[in-house]
Amino acid sequence: MKYAKKLPAFIFFFFCIVAFLNQAKAQTAVKEGKMKILIHVTTGPENPTRAALAFLVARTAVEQGYTVSLFLAGDAVQLMRDPVLDNLAGLGTGKLRDHFDAIVKGGGHFYLSANSSKVRGLTEADIKGKPAEFSLPDVLVKLLVESDREITY
C-alpha cells in the first residue's frame, strides 16, 4: 500500500525519461542527417496550392538536410507530368517545377502508385530521367515503417 502512492510519480518519471531519450535520438538523427521524412501526396493538379505546398515542404526538408521520399497516389501522380510540373503554381506556395528541381538536387526520391498511374495513363515516358519509380502499396508501407516522420497532403 505504501508503494501504491508512489506509483503515479514513478510512471510520470518513467515517461519523462522515455520522452527525453526519444528526443535525444531524434536530435542525433537530425545532426547526422539520417532522419527520414515521408511525404504522402494524394492531392493533384485540381488543388494547385495544396499540391505545391506538399512539394514546398519536401523541398524545405531536403534543404535542411533530411532524407526525403515522396509517395504520390491518386490524382497526385499527375504532378509528375512535365506540363503539370512546368505550369502548376500555388497561391503562396510557389511553382511546382522550382520545388521539384530542388528536391531532385537534394537527393529526394519519388514513388508513384502504380495502380493510380495506370488508370490515369501515366507511363515510363512520363518519369524518364526523374528520380521516380512506380510502386505498389507494399512500398508505401515499407516507407512508412522506415520513416521517422510522415506528412500527408
What is the maximum alpha-carbon separation in the chain? Answer: 72
Q: Is 117 helix (H, G, I), strand (E, B) or coil?
A: helix
The 10s digit of each residue's pLDDT in 121-144 is 999 999 999 999 999 999 999 999
Indicate if the pLDDT at residue 94 is higher than 50.
Answer: yes
Q: How far apart are CA 116 and CA 122, in angstroms?
A: 8
Q: Which residues contact 139 (CB under 8 A, 6 or more apart)?
A: 71, 111
Nine cell digits for residue 2: 505504501
Domains plus CATH for the chain? 36-152 (3.40.1260.10)
* pTM of the complete model: 0.79
Q: How far apart are CA 116 and CA 111, in angstroms?
A: 11
Indicate if the pLDDT at residue 47 is higher than 70.
Answer: yes
At 34 the pLDDT is 81
